[in-house]
């Protein structure tokens, strides 16, 4: 056979970049998006799952038959589970109870054990998903704790791989790099690398209202976090993988407007991505609206819409949160209704 890869892990990365055509039409800047949801496990975290486990494997901290423990909002778990499948390891994922059922089901489908913890407790609380993950790792023999929040290999992954890939794909031909911030690994690692090649580059993080990260960047002050619905972005503590020295600015977005943009990206651009992608694009548009001249902005889109089909793309879920629903093509709905017989339903 001429073209094949040895394992699924070999096709992680090299994701395409496309230019937005419609949702940002009113700004003079061009917005380009890197489609990380086209990774084999459906998110940018495939890169991280692979890198954290591979480095531990090389150091002898993880071996065949070993147990990988991780606190994850779901996507990192999928990346780790792919590594575990290929290398015959076991996985325990500890998640907060706000994560979508699709993510939980996906991890269980890999054969992982999934432990669900309450979302709205302090990180130090013994019930928090950070505390539970740590306890499981400390108590189980042969366990490796991937620890995406504080393991420096997270930053290194994006510094060594995602950053160079972006530079190679673009030739450095853009002005602003933007990414949502959760663990901080993506924005920090990519920005630190790109700044070595592109000294004029501006880097902007996207945070969600309720998280403490952007506020800390602006003021140096740690405030109590407030609940928010969006998955993947924001934190209620400061992970060590956020390197504030390479992040120039932040945009803060809110839940509903992020979900509306996520739905628009699908309806207008055909881009089937998750809620943090809508948040990132919205942050980029907001940033572009404030610029005095046109710039080229590159934005990371971390994961797939398929992870949120029961939430953001479900009208009932949107309505249950009092979020606005824009009915598409109401005249067409009416025309169909006029043509079908009684007892036939339009769903």
Q: What residues are labeled active site?
A: 45
* Phi (first) and psi of residue 3, to 5 degrees: -125, 115
| In the complex, least distance from residue 260 CB atom to ligand PLP, rounded to whole angstroms | 17
Q: Are 10 and 271 in contact (CB under 8 A)?
A: no
Q: Does 303 bind ligand PLP (CB under 6 A)?
A: yes
DSSP 309: T
Near ligand PLP by CB under 6 A: residue from 49, 182, 210, 305: 182
User: What is the total count of residues that contact ligand PLP (CB under 6 A)?
Assistant: 15
Q: Does 278 bind ligand PLP (CB under 6 A)?
A: no
Residue 30, burial from CB neighbour count under 10 angstroms (0-12, 13-18, 19+): middle
Q: Could you give the string, one character per residue 219-238, with x where binding to ligand PLP holds by CB under 6 A and - elsewhere? A: -------------xx-----
Q: Which two tokens stand for residue 314?
A: 């479900």
| In the complex, least distance from residue 165 CB atom to ligand PLP, rounded to whole angstroms | 15
DSSP 306: G
Q: Does 185 bind ligand PLP (CB under 6 A)?
A: yes
Which CB sits closer to ligand PLP, 66 or 305?
Answer: 305
Q: DSSP states of 51-97 as a string?
A: HHHHHHHHHTSS-TT-EEEEE-SSHHHHHHHHHHHHHT-EEEEEEET
Which CB sits closer to ligand PLP, 66 or 184?
Answer: 184
Residues 6+ apart with CB under 8 A from 265: 23, 271, 273, 277, 278, 281
| In the complex, least distance from residue 52 CB atom to ligand PLP, rounded to whole angstroms | 12
284-305: b or e for each residue (b if 16 or more CB lie within 10 Å)? bbbbbeeeeeebebbbbbbbbb
- Category of 285 on φ-ψ map: left (φ > 0), alpha (ψ -120 to 50) or beta: alpha
Which CB sits closer to ligand PLP, 163 or 180?
Answer: 180
Which CB sits closer to ligand PLP, 66 or 201?
Answer: 201
Q: Could you give the string, one character per residue 247-276, with x where binding to ligand PLP holds by CB under 6 A and - elsewhere? A: ---------------------------x-x
Q: Does 211 bind ligand PLP (CB under 6 A)?
A: no
In 158-245, at which residue ranges do the beta strands (DSSP E only) sit? Answer: 176-180, 202-208
Q: Does 298 bind ligand PLP (CB under 6 A)?
A: no
Q: Does 183 bind ligand PLP (CB under 6 A)?
A: yes
List the helix and strand counts (H, then E) for the chain.
12, 10
Site for ligand PLP in 69-88 (CB under 6 A): 73, 75
Q: Which residues bind ligand PLP (CB under 6 A)?
A: 73, 75, 180-186, 232-233, 274, 276, 302-303
């Amino acid at each position: 056979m001429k073209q094949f890869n040895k394992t699924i892990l070999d096709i992680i990365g090299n994701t395409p970049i496309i230019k937005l055509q419609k949702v940002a039409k009113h700004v003079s800047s061009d917005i380009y998006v890197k489609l990380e949801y086209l990774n084999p496990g459906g998110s940018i975290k495939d890169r991280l799952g692979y890198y954290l486990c591979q480095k531990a494997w090389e150091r002898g901290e993880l071996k065949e038959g070993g147990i990988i423990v991780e606190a994850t909002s779901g996507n990192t778990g999928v990346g780790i589970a792919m590594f575990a499948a290929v290398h015959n390891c076991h996985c325990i994922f500890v998640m907060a109870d706000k994560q979508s059922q699709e993510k939980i089901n996906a991890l269980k489908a890999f054969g992982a054990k999934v432990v669900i913890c309450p979302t709205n407790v302090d990180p130090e609380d013994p019930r928090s998903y950070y505390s539970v993950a740590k306890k499981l790792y400390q108590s189980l023999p042969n366990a490796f704790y991937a620890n995406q929040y504080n393991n420096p290999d997270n930053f290194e992954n994006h510094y060594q791989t995602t950053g160079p890939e972006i530079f190679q794909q673009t030739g450095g031909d853009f002005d602003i790099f933007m990414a949502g911030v959760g663990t901080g690994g993506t924005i920090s690692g990519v920005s630190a690398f790109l700044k070595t090649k592109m000294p004029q580059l501006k880097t902007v993080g996207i945070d969600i209202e309720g998280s403490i990260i952007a506020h800390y960047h602006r003021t140096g002050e740690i405030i109590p976090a407030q609940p928010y619905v969006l998955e993947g972005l924001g934190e209620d503590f400061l992970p060590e993988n956020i390197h504030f020295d390479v992040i120039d600015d932040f945009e803060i977005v809110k839940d509903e407007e992020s979900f509306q943009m996520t739905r628009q990206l699908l309806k207008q651009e055909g881009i089937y991505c998750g809620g943090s992608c809508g948040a990132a694009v919205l942050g980029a548009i907001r940033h572009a609206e404030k610029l005095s001249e046109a710039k080229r902005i590159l934005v990371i889109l971390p994961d797939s819409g398929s992870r949120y089909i029961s939430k953001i793309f479900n009208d009932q879920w949107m309505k249950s949160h009092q979020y606005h629903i824009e009915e598409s093509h109401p005249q067409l709905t009416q025309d169909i209704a006029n043509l079908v017989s009684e007892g036939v339903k339009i769903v």
